[in-house]
């Protein structure tokens, strides 16, 4: 999959988003394609982790006491929040959507 600036702009990236990715590529090396794929993988990972956390929360609701459900739910919310802001969520989502549309 070849990533071009025009294709990214047409798929919903703004000029500011594209500039952030280009600045990152210039600072840390790599290519535009690698950066977009890495961001897309980060978003996929966030989706998987969120799904697993929801399953764990449902198990807590089904098999433990209410105080543990509240504590576990709070811990899961804090964990997902930290993980989502450890990456640029907007860029990750746009990269995931771009890769999903143009890969398939």
Residues 34-52 have pLDDT tens digits of 999 999 999 999 999 999 9
Burial class (CB in 10 A: 0-12, 13-18, 19+), 75: middle
Percentage of the chain lying above the pLDDT 70 cut = 98
Q: 0.85 exceeded by the pTM?
A: yes
Strands (E), the chain: none
Is residue 1 very low, low, confident or very high in pLDDT (cuts 50, 70, 90)? low
CB 40 within 8 A of CB 96: yes
Q: What span, in angstroms and rounded, lies between the C-alpha atoms of 95 and 39?
A: 6
- What's the rounded mean pLDDT across residues 63-83? 96
What pLDDT is recorded for position 104?
A: 56
Average pLDDT of the chain? 93
Q: What span, in angstroms and rounded, lies between the C-alpha atoms of 15 and 56?
A: 39
């Amino acid at each position: 999959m070849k990533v071009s600036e025009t294709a990214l702009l047409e798929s919903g990236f703004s000029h500011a988003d594209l500039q952030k990715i280009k600045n990152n590529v210039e600072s840390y090396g790599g290519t535009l394609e690698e950066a977009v794929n890495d961001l897309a993988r980060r978003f996929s990972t966030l989706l998987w982790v969120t799904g697993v956390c929801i399953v764990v929360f449902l198990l807590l609701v089904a098999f433990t006491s209410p105080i543990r459900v509240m504590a576990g739910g709070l811990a899961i919310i804090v964990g997902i929040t930290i993980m989502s802001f450890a990456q640029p969520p907007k860029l990750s989502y746009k990269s995931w959507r771009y890769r999903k549309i143009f890969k398939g």
